[in-house]
Structures are given as structure tokens and as C-alpha cells.
Structure 1
Amino acid sequence: MKKGKLINSFQYAFFGLWMCVRDERNMRIHIGAAVVVCGMGLCYDISRQEWSVLLLTIGAVMSLEAVNTAVEKVVDLTTTEHHPLAKYAKDVAAGAVLLFAFIAVVIGILIFSPYVQQSF
């Protein structure tokens, strides 16, 4: 791969992420939650292993949200009609985000509950 093509691929990827942040309310909600959770991690001085789990979890939720957005846009591009398969694809992609967001909350509780309990 030529150097220019590699640079272009990174530029396209960053632009795609920027569009998702700019245009998608749910991505901004995930970012807000990530900022709060990272702030809590700093306040409670969580371990390196806990940071690893937390950052992997945050990255997974945001990545799934980006994939969900891509699925929605491709479905919208391919049909303007209400089609059961289009709805199915969109609902399954959204469900994947919801499922992992729920798991992320559970992970957050598992990581932070000992620190919060210690504070009281």
C-alpha cells in the first residue's frame, strides 16, 4: 500500500468518526458517559487492569454505535420504503448497541462499587 493511500485511509476513518459524533445524538451520549466514567476512574484511582477493562468497554460501545450508524445509513440508502428486512437490520444493530451498553453498565458497577462503598 502506498503511503498516500495509507494516510487517506486514516483521514477517511477519522472523518467517519467525526461525522458520527457530529450527527448522532447517541454517540454524544456515549461520549458524555465515557467522560463521567473516566473522571470517576481518576477520582477513585482505579488499577491498571480496571482501566484496561474500562477503556475496552468504552471502545466497544462506541464502536458498536458507529457500526449501528453505518447499518442505518446503508439501509436508508438502499430503500425509502418501509420494508420488514430494513427494519429488522436496523433493530438488530440498535439491539447490539443496547446489549453491550447494558453490559458496560454492569462492568462499571463491578469496577466502581467497591470504591463507592469505601467512600461511605
Structure 2
Amino acid sequence: MKNPKDSFLRGRIRSLKFAFKGFWILVSTEDSIKAQLFFAFIATILGFYFDISAAEWSAQVIVIGLVLVAEGANTAIEEMADFVHPEYHKKIGLIKDIAAGVPTIAALTSLVIACIIYVPKIMILF
């Protein structure tokens, strides 16, 4: 909640505090985020190993961010749905399934980008 006594700068600093708190909650409690961070780490190692170009780094960083944002949004939607209706409900189940589709699309997109970047580099090794 916004504090009316906060200056613009103090309000931004408080917002950052909440943002980092949310990031920490995601990283420390959500297995899906942990898995995606593991894949991001592997992709980063591969990027250094294969000395990918600046454009390839840009694409890789964008899709890593896309996947993490999608996972975070999915988690938030699922948490809200569970809060609003803790028992099983067909419509809540549908909402959660649709929300789960969002990181799936992002992950598939990142897989395509990874193939575009790394398959030619791996083929050169053989």
C-alpha cells in the first residue's frame, strides 16, 4: 500500500524492496523457477563456451527473461486462484491450466532460440 508521506524516491525504493522480496520468494520456494534458473545457467555456460555473438546473447537473455517472467506470472495467477477458491472448482482448474500454458509457450520459444543458436555450433564439432 502506498504511504502518502513517501517522497517519489522513497516510494520507488520501497517498490524495489517489494520487488526483490517477490523475486526471493519465487527463487526460494518455486521449483519451476529453480528449474528454469538451472537451464538459464546451463545456457549461459554454453554461451561462454561457444563464444556466441552479441546478437545471440541478446536473444538468449531475452528468452531467459521471458521464461522467468512467464513462470512468475503463472505462479501469481495460481496463488490468487487458490486464495479465491481453495477447493477444487472446474473454472479455477481451467484458469490454472491456461496460466500454466503461458510458461510452456515461453519455454518452447526459448528451446527454438537455443536450437537456432547452438545446433550449428554443435554440428561443427562433429
TM-score (norm: length of structure 2): 0.92
Give the C-alpha shift of residue 119 in structure 1: 1.6
Give the C-alpha shift of residue 2 in structure 1: 1.7
Q: Percent identity over the alignment?
A: 32
Structure 2 counterpart of 1:57 = 63
Structure 2 counterpart of 1:78 = 84
Q: Is 1:101 paired with 2:107?
A: yes
Which 10-residue stretch deviates more, 77-86 or 67-76? Answer: 77-86
Q: Is 1:28 paired with 2:34?
A: yes
Ranges of 4+ aligned residues in structure 1 off by more than 6 Å? none
Return the match for 1:4 from 10, 25, 47. Answer: 10
Report the residue type matching 2:62 in the other structure.
Answer: L
Give the C-alpha shift of residue 3 in structure 1: 1.3
Return the match for 1:67 from 69, 73, 78. Answer: 73
Gaps of 5+ in 2: 1-6
Return the match for 2:45 from 33, 39, 42. Answer: 39
Q: Which has the higher helix share?
A: 1
Gaps of 5+ in 1: none
Question: Number of residue pairs matched?
Answer: 120
Which protein shows a greater Rg?
A: 2
Give the C-alpha shift of residue 100 in structure 1: 1.4
Q: CA RMSD in A?
A: 0.9
TM-score (norm: length of structure 1): 0.96
Cα distance between partner residues in 2 of 1:89 and 1:23? 22
Give the C-alpha shift of residue 81 in structure 1: 1.9
Cα distance between partner residues in 2 of 1:29 and 1:80? 26
Once the two structures are superposed, the pairs formed by residues 101-120 of structure 1 within 5 Å of their partners are 101-120=107-126
Report the residue type matching 2:24 in the other structure.
Answer: W
Cα distance between partner residues in 2 of 1:59 and 1:80? 30
